[in-house]
């Protein structure tokens, strides 16, 4: 490699509002097995705080719970915020169900937010990341992480005070 030339994966691109994000050659690979426990994290495009009111947060929260039921995911923990969300779910069958649920969640919430903000067609969601949790200690650690994420972000002093998570 030529001196001073960075590989393509390290290129950076400036998005709206001056947020710098890495330019990846492809999105993350999502491999769901037939059964398992997964943690999923999704981020808003450009880390923008689209869900910045109690009503918007409630909409995202309620759609997450509703769609998890519709797609037969057993949510173990969840937390939604103005620019991202996390959940831990048990997948019993149908490996496509998480992918389909996230796709529908992102579609419904993007349409809703864009209507409220009169911004039709605006990109709301960036990507999501998932990890299969195979060890009990990993599962317990992620449950704790998700349940206490509002405390980590200094939104509340105790997780049970945050209404948009499973700890409340």
Assigned domain for 106 exists? yes
Domain count along the chain:
1
Assigned domain for 28 exists? no
Give this prediction's pTM: 0.79
Tens digits of residue pLDDT in 153-166: 999 999 999 999 99
Q: If residue 136 lies in a helix (H) or strand (E), which one and from where to where?
A: helix 136-147
Closest residue by Cα to residue 41 from 107, 90, 86, 1 = 86
Query: Could you tell me the residue range of the domain that residue 56 belongs to?
Result: 8-22+33-134
pLDDT of 1 higher than 60 = no
**Among residues of the chain, what percentage have pLDDT more than 70?**
80
pLDDT of 21 higher than 70 = no
Show Cβ contacts of residue 143 under 8 Å, excluding neighbours closer than 6 positions: 76, 77, 88
Residues 21 and 37: their CA atoms lie apart, in Å, by 29
Q: What is the mean pLDDT of the chain?
A: 85
Q: Report the alpha-carbon angle 154-16-61, nearest 5.
A: 45
- Using pLDDT thresholds of 50, 70 and 90, give the confidence band for residue 35: confident
Overall average pLDDT of the 15-31 stretch: 44
Assigned domain for 66 exists? yes
Assigned domain for 156 exists? no
Assigned domain for 139 exists? no
Assigned domain for 147 exists? no
pLDDT of residue 102: 96
Tens digits of residue pLDDT in 92-142: 877 788 999 999 999 999 999 999 999 999 999 998 999 999 999 999 999
pLDDT of 81 higher than 50 = yes
Longest dimension (CA), the chain: 54
Assigned domain for 154 exists? no
Closest residue by Cα to residue 64 from 55, 75, 50 = 75
pLDDT of residue 93: 76
Burial of 96 (0-12, 13-18, 19+ CB in 10 A): exposed
Judge whether 159 and 168 are in contact, CB under 8 Å: yes
Assigned domain for 2 exists? no
For residues 9 and 76, which has the higher predicted lDDT (pLDDT)? 76
Place of tokens 């943690």: 39
pLDDT of residue 34: 56
What CATH number did the domain enclosing 129 receive? Answer: 3.30.70.1290
């Amino acid at each position: 490699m030529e001196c001073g030339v960075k590989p393509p994966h390290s290129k950076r691109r400036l998005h709206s509002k001056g947020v710098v994000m890495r330019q990846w050659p492809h999105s993350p690979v999502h491999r769901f097995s037939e059964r398992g426990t997964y943690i999923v994290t999704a981020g808003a495009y450009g880390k923008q705080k689209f869900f910045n009111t109690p009503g918007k947060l409630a909409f995202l929260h309620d759609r997450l719970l509703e769609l998890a039921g519709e797609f037969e995911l057993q949510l173990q923990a969840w937390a939604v915020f103005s620019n991202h969300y996390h959940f831990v779910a048990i997948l019993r069958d149908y490996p496509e169900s998480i992918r389909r649920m996230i796709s529908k969640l992102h579609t419904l919430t993007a349409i809703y937010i864009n209507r409220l903000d009169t911004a039709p067609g605006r990109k709301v969601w960036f990507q999501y990341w998932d990890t299969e949790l195979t060890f009990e200690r990993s599962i317990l650690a992620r449950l704790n992480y998700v349940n206490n994420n509002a405390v980590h972000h200094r939104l509340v002093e105790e997780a049970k005070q945050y209404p948009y998570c499973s700890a409340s």
